[in-house]
Amino acid sequence: MISQAARDALQGWLDAQKALKGASANTLSAYSADVAGFLAFMSEHKGELQGLAPLARITVGDMRSWMAFTRGKDVGSRSLARKLSAVKSFYRWLSEREGFEPTAVLSTRSPKFQRKLPRPLAEDAAKDMIATVEMQSATPWVAARDQAVITLLYGCGLRISEALSLSGRDLPIGDALRIMGKGGKERMVPVLPAARDAVEAYLRLVPYETGPDDPVFKGVRGGKLSPRMVQKVVEKTRMQLGLPASATPHAMRHSFATHLLNAGGDLRAIQELLGHASLSTTQAYTAVDTARLMEVYKRAHPKA
């Protein structure tokens, strides 16, 4: 159980995250669940509903108890670090609003975890994915649609949500696309002729009209195409090609970035193309490239 005062504070913080930082609905949902879980634990841990005054008196010991409890529910280090980050953000906001010292919460150390590196496809595998994905449907317009979506993910480095958010207002596709990414951040993305041609081929076949507010990519009944359907068709293609489980729609975006970097692309330019808020996120691709070079070195060097 969570006290009404704590519930109101949580909602106020979520509203602030949306208004000031443009947090997405999915992000807000995750934040809400993480902080609500923390508040519920503290009520149980203390044996009473935690109003704002008790929340201001959270100790280092209380934080350790929460982290131990959360770990005991088979929550991994990465997920626990995310939950702690949400709780700290909430406490920064609450302490400024209520005028208390949040040191006990903010000083809690995040658990260490091995950051997962992106798993890009090899260039040939990415090309095979694009060429083969259309074979998964006997309906010509659906086959053309699937190929157009995957070509955009790889050719423009789009997130699957960004590709499926394209509307009639974005047509006809020219040399660049204006993409609204995470946090409402807008960016311009160059469009390769192959990606433009794939979308145009799909549009010639799709049996539904596309008005300015209609989605470009449609499901079989004419509504907006579901990300899950794209994931399923990629899974079928992956199995047909014998590619690893890491060959997902998002891996096409990773492949876009990695292949650009391998070809000498500038890291900051790639950051802009991907819509990463922080260069450190994009720098993960340098780790991928370094790991690949080290493998080559170990295999080829006579002293290795």
- Asked whether 194 and 153 are in contact (CB, 8 A), the reply is no
Question: Does 159 qualify as catalytic in the annotation?
Answer: yes
Q: Which candidate in 182, 224, 236, 292 is catalytic?
A: 182
Q: Which residues of 10-26 are buried (b: 16+ CB within 10 A; e: fewer)?
A: beebbeebbeeeebbee
What type of residue is 231? Answer: Q
Question: Does 46 qualify as catalytic in the annotation?
Answer: no
Question: Does 253 qualify as catalytic in the annotation?
Answer: yes
Q: Which candidate in 159, 218, 254, 259 is catalytic?
A: 159
Instruction: Give Cβ neighbours of residue 61 (< 8 Å, ≥ 6 apart).
Output: none
Q: Which candidate in 45, 92, 187, 250 is catalytic?
A: 250
Q: Where are the beta strands (DSSP E) in 114-227?
A: 176-180, 186-190
- DSSP reduced 3-state for 224: strand
State yes or no: cis peptide before 172, omega within 30 of 0. Answer: yes
User: Which among 25, 302, 255 has a CA at the least distance from the CA of 150?
Assistant: 255
Q: Which candidate in 218, 253, 254, 259 is catalytic?
A: 253
**In the chain, which ranges are continuous DSSP H helix?**
4-21, 25-46, 52-55, 60-71, 77-98, 103-106, 123-133, 140-156, 160-164, 193-205, 227-241, 249-262, 267-274, 279-282, 284-300
Question: Does 250 qualify as catalytic in the annotation?
Answer: yes
Active-site annotation, residues: 159, 182, 250, 253, 276, 285
